Amino acid sequence: MNQNTSPLLQVRGLHVAYGKTAALHGIDLEVGKGEIVALIGANGAGKSTTLRAISGLLKPTAGSITWEDKPITGWSADRVVAQGIAHCPEERHIWPAMTVKENLMLGGFLCRTHAEVEERIGMAFHRFPRLRERQKQLAGTLSGGEQQMLAIARALMSEPRLLLLDEPSLGLSPKMADEVFTVVQEINAHGVTVMIVEQNVYNALSVASRAYVVETGRISASDSAANLLQDPDVLNAYLGA
């Protein structure tokens, strides 16, 4: 990361608990403008919990989250998204009984005018032509890959500067997963910073510039993606090499 500019997102000593069970024990991380940063780690390590705390779905018990030099710790999810952080959650969470177009319209819920919503939907259809074809279909009838594209397109409707992507390749065929990762790189090339959580470590490291390794609620390592791909410990633990 370029050390000369202050990071877009800064997380310091983040603690989160589910009831009395602590899930995060002091996460520290930074995301710089324009990066793709991956969080990798085993199931239950706290990757998704970290994203959920950043986007306001969970209230941290301690620590701070700073976004563009502004403290946003403990803000509700609807305020965080208004600040330019979109969270595309695990398992997609599209609205199944609404049409593709309605899903996108709601993604642009915070737009002030209808024209703005329509303009962004036009951009989404441009990026995902298949969604245009299926715009009147109920979202629940889409294939897994199409649902993931819809979930990403919906998150982009808020025109975020940071996109939090949780397990975008979950349950997809390798070919579909490749398509999703290509889309992620395209989105990043258009200036959107991306933080991605993936169990498919190889895929995550091949699109990310940097990555943090999360283990039992702590960051156990952080390095450039290229270095991590060479690291025997990481290869052993997550790539089965």
14 or 164: CB nearest another protein: 164
Interaction of residue 98 with another protein, rule CB under 8 A: yes
- What type of residue sits at position 17? A
Interaction of residue 196 with another protein, rule CB under 8 A: no
Interaction of residue 138 with another protein, rule CB under 8 A: no
The alpha carbon dihedral of 194, 199, 203, 204 has a sign of positive
Planar angle of CA 42, 43, 47, nearest 5 degrees: 80
Instruction: Report d(CA 59, CA 208) in Å as an integer.
Output: 27
Q: Please report, as residue ranges, which positions from 20 to 59 form the binding site for another protein (by CB under 8 A).
A: 55-57
Instruction: Report d(CA 56, CA 52) in Å as an integer.
Output: 6
The two tokens of residue 55 are: 């986007």
The two tokens of residue 143 are: 């294939």
Instruction: Report d(CA 53, CA 49) in Å as an integer.
Output: 6
CB of 69 to another protein, least distance (A): 22
Q: Please report, as residue ranges, which positions from 55 to 84 form the binding site for another protein (by CB under 8 A).
A: 55-57, 76-78, 81-82
Only one of the segments 7-15, 86-94, 127-135, 217-225 lies at the binding site for another protein (rule: CB under 8 A); that segment is: 86-94
Interface residue list for another protein (CB under 8 A): 55-57, 76-78, 81-82, 86-87, 89, 93-98, 102, 105-107, 109-110, 154-155, 157-158
